[in-house]
Amino acid sequence: MIRVLLVRWSRYNPYYLEPEPRKEVYHIPETELTPEQKEERELKSVRPIKAATNSVTSSVFNDPVLSKFVNMMMKDGDKIIAKGIITQTLENMKRKQVEKYHKAPEVKKAEIECNPYVIFHQALENCKPVIGLASIQKGGKFYQVPIPLTDNRRRFLAMKWMITECRDNKHRRTLMYEKLSQELLAAFSKEGNVVKRKHELHKMAESNRAYAHYRWW
């Protein structure tokens, strides 16, 4: 595959600092800085800083969760197609919600959420499992032990389940963005296959709660 965009190195000398893409940090006036922030500013004026990756921007539309989702959906490094699918998904969700909004009676209009980003975040939150299972060996046999998961792991599982579900369980001619928007709207209202999978994991963990003491951390 031919690389069209510039790539920054991933191996830097350890004393290079990370770049700060958010604009609000630089808009704080001098007087309102805490001593730690002042120290940080002085350090940044002396030390070299790594180049920013292509995926981080200082625009208002930069969403780290959405970027991670796009990266997970990407195949063979084709970010353009993945980003296109996500934009089509968001547009599709907005269209469906606006249609619902205009058809609904006055009373229900306030409850319908039209912002696709809000729907996406809420749907992902609804898909995140609370505890996971780990295979732990005790006395020659392997048991599925319920363990607490880190935030990153939970977010990853939610995204992974969403993507695999949309890739595998769809009709022959539905496009990815169509299926994704259906699944996200279902997850937003806590129905659908992904939320079902989360509940099944919870049920497995609940049935194995006797093995919780096999953990050592």
Which residues, 6 or more positions from 44, have their beta carbon under 8 angstroms from its beta carbon? Answer: 17, 20
Q: Considering the complex, state which of residue 50 and residue 202 has its C-beta at the smaller distance from another protein.
A: 202
Distance CA 134, CA 148 (A): 10
Tokens of 178: 């169509």
Does the footprint of another protein cover residue 214 (CB under 8 A)?
A: yes
Q: Which of 130, 138, 142, 160 binds another protein (CB under 8 A)?
A: 130
Which residues from 21-80 bind another protein, rule CB under 8 A?
none
Between 10 and 150, name the residue whose CB sits nearer to another protein.
150
CA 143/CA 140 separation, integer angstroms: 10
206 binds another protein (CB under 8 A): yes
Q: Determine which residue in the list 146, 159, 161, 194 makes contact with another protein, applying CB under 8 A.
A: 146
- Tell me how many residues contact another protein (CB under 8 A): 19
C-alpha span between 183 and 188 (Å, rounded): 8
Under the criterion CB under 8 A, does residue 216 sit at the interface with another protein? yes
Strand-pair partners of 138 = 141
Task: Name the minimum Å distance from CB 202 to another protein.
Answer: 6
Residue 131 found at the interface with another protein (CB under 8 A): yes
Burial class (CB in 10 A: 0-12, 13-18, 19+), 88: middle
Contact range with another protein by CB under 8 A, out of 15-23, 126-134, 158-166, 180-188 = 126-134
